[in-house]
């Protein structure tokens, strides 16, 4: 439904007309995310600052029109797709790194700054911003905050929630709110700050983010290792952590993933093992050498069939090529995938991987699985073809079975992708029944008219 002329007239009093986008092309390119979910919004507003965000929210409230904040559109749960129509509020023009303070170790950024751009900017001055979702070349910091994104490095360094020290948020009422500050220490409103991290645009629109930074580690090392049995891979993780080494990344690929990737790369991957691990460590050069030795020993002691430390950065990049090629390799096999995201306690990883294998067999689907094994965050990818209706019925049932298996294994149905709409229906199974009511109460307190990203997270 096109935006009403009354709505457009009200908006054009606050926003320059060039940034009120209504052409079919503009609407279409703001109607998708990193899933296969699509819905063309009625209108796109490309905002330039917090005051404009506030103006859009006030006008939207008057017209009872939903507002869906959107950054890079790389979300994996439909959170930035305007399923109920209304306004997509795009933050991509707010792409400025406001400040990098090397003394205070903080950066202040507008919400539309792309994650990789922030990483590159701070690394140029010897600093380090650890959160690294796979979509880092597209995903914005605002979106990272809204989904509480993390990535491989979060085992050692934590995710977005651990780096945000200050937020500017525009509430549904149009109030511009500052939470936290510039100190690395949590302030008196820390719990309020955290309420917005991972709220997926349902409680407010993030208009500025202050993150803490670390000194950039001098050196990095990589070990590739394979295991004939999943349980051995689990033991290796326990031994590595038990030896006091916390790897930067601890990535696992299961046999199905390895076979998909090998079919694509033909690089001689070990397709008969049950699991391959890629383990990165960082620190100064001596410490890295020592950590690599400890990791290699721990893997051998756990029964690894191969243990191969990278001999150079180029060699490490080659080892990581397999992990980075998963999505491309899946695309060769089936046109679509449902990229899932569950997390389970570390000790339940082998059980969870076997459960996914059993579900793949039961529903006759190919479900390669990889993930951040160090913290139990697994990504089963259900390969499929959206045009194949009977298959899509099985995909849906398999997804449900995977969530049930995660919950049965004391896990959660979202590790790092958020809930959005894709997993909304599974949320009540995953949470304490009271928690849903509590979420609703907070939502009503902050957005009584329900204009902020309606239909997301909560049903």
According to CB under 8 A, which residues from 2 to 31 bind a second copy? Answer: none
- One residue of 49, 51, 162, 262 binding a second copy per CB under 8 A: 162
The two tokens of residue 445 are 């307190």
Kindly state the smallest distance separating residue 214's Cβ from a second copy, in Å.
7
CA–CA separation, 118 and 128 (whole Å): 9
Q: Which stretch binds a second copy (CB under 8 A): 29-37, 66-74, 357-365, 411-419?
A: 411-419
- One residue of 30, 70, 259, 423 binding a second copy per CB under 8 A: 423
- One residue of 49, 51, 290, 397 binding a second copy per CB under 8 A: 290
For residue 390, state whether it binds a second copy (rule: CB under 8 A): no
- One residue of 38, 272, 358, 410 binding a second copy per CB under 8 A: 410
How distant, in Å, are the alpha carbons of 32, 41, 307 from that of 253?
28, 37, 15
As a 3-state breakdown, the chain gives helix, strand, coil percent values, each rounded to 5, of: 40, 20, 40
Q: Which stretch binds a second copy (CB under 8 A): 3-11, 38-46, 83-91, 413-421?
A: 413-421
For residue 138, state whether it binds a second copy (rule: CB under 8 A): no
User: What residues numbered 42-81 form the site for a second copy, per CB under 8 A?
Assistant: none
What residues form DSSP beta bridges with 100? 107
User: What residues numbered 89-128 form the site for a second copy, per CB under 8 A?
Assistant: 101, 103-106, 126
Instruction: List the alpha helices (DSSP H) in 266-414.
Output: 285-301, 313-324, 326-333, 349-362, 389-408
For residue 229, state whether it binds a second copy (rule: CB under 8 A): no
The interaxial angle of helices 313-324 and 326-333, nearest 10 deg, is 40
Give the nearer residue to a second copy in terms of CB position, either 96 or 441.
441
For residue 354, state whether it binds a second copy (rule: CB under 8 A): no
- One residue of 91, 144, 336, 343 binding a second copy per CB under 8 A: 343
Give the nearer residue to a second copy in terms of CB position, either 44 or 154.
154
If you search the block for the tokens 């959660």, which residue do you land on?
Answer: 412
For residue 404, state whether it binds a second copy (rule: CB under 8 A): no
Burial of 6 per CB tally in 10 Å (0-12, 13-18, 19+): exposed
- One residue of 270, 283, 303, 450 binding a second copy per CB under 8 A: 283
CA–CA separation, 56 and 308 (whole Å): 55
Angle at 244 between CA 239 and CA 245, to 5 degrees: 85
Give the nearer residue to a second copy in terms of CB position, either 86 or 111.
111
For residue 347, state whether it binds a second copy (rule: CB under 8 A): yes
For residue 144, state whether it binds a second copy (rule: CB under 8 A): no
Angle at 444 between CA 442 and CA 449, to 5 degrees: 150
User: What residues numbered 174-193 form the site for a second copy, per CB under 8 A?
Assistant: 175-179, 181-192
SS3 306: strand
| Contact by Cβ (8 Å): 35, 75 | yes
| Contact by Cβ (8 Å): 235, 303 | yes
Give the nearer residue to a second copy in terms of CB position, either 3 or 413.
413
């Amino acid at each position: 439904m096109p935006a009403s002329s009354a709505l457009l007239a009200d908006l054009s009093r606050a926003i320059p007309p060039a940034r009120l986008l209504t052409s079919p092309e503009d609407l279409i390119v703001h109607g998708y995310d990193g899933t296969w979910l699509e819905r063309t919004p009625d209108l796109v507003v490309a905002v330039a600052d917090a005051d404009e965000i506030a103006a859009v929210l006030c006008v939207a409230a008057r017209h009872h029109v939903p507002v869906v904040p959107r950054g890079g559109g790389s979300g994996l749960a439909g959170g930035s797709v305007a399923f109920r129509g209304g306004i997509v509020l795009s933050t991509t023009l707010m792409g400025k790194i406001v400040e990098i303070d090397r003394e205070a170790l903080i950066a202040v950024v507008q919400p539309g700054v792309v994650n990789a751009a922030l990483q590159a900017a701070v690394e140029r001055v010897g600093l380090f911003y650890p959160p690294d979702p796979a979509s880092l070349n597209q995903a914005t910091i605002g979106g990272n905050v809204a989904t509480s994104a993390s990535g491989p490095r979060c085992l050692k360094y934590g995710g977005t929630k651990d780096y945000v020290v200050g937020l500017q948020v525009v509430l549904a009422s149009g109030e511009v709110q500052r939470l936290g500050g510039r100190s690395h220490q949590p302030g008196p409103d820390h719990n309020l700050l955290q309420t917005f991290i991972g709220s997926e645009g349902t409680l407010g629109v993030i208009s500025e983010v202050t993150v803490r930074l670390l000194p950039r580690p001098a050196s990095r090392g990589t070990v590739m290792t394979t295991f004939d049995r999943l349980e051995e891979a689990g033991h290796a993780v326990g031994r590595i952590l038990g030896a006091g080494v916390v790897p930067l990344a601890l990535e696992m690929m299961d046999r199905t993933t390895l076979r998909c990737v090998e079919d694509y790369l033909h690089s001689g991957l070990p397709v008969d093992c049950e699991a391959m691990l890629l383990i990165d460590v960082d620190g100064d050069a001596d410490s890295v050498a020592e950590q690599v030795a400890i990791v290699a020993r721990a893997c051998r002691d756990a029964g690894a069939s191969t243990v191969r430390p990278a001999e150079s950065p180029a060699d490490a990049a080659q080892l990581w090529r397999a992990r980075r090629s998963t999505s491309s390799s899946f695309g060769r096999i089936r046109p679509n995938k449902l990229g899932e995201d569950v997390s389970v306690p570390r000790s339940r990883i082998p059980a969870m991987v076997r459960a996914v294998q059993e579900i793949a067999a039961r529903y006759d689907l190919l479900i390669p699985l990889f993930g951040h094994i160090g913290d139990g965050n697994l990504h089963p990818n259900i390969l499929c073809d959206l045009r194949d209706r009977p298959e899509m019925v099985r995909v849906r049932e398999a997804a449900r079975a995977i969530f049930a298996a995660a919950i049965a294994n004391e896990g959660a149905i979202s590790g790092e992708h958020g809930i959005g709409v894709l997993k909304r229906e599974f949320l009540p199974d995953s949470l304490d029944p009271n928690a849903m009511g509590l979420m609703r109460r907070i939502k009503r307190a902050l957005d009584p008219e329900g204009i902020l990203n309606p239909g997301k997270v909560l049903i």
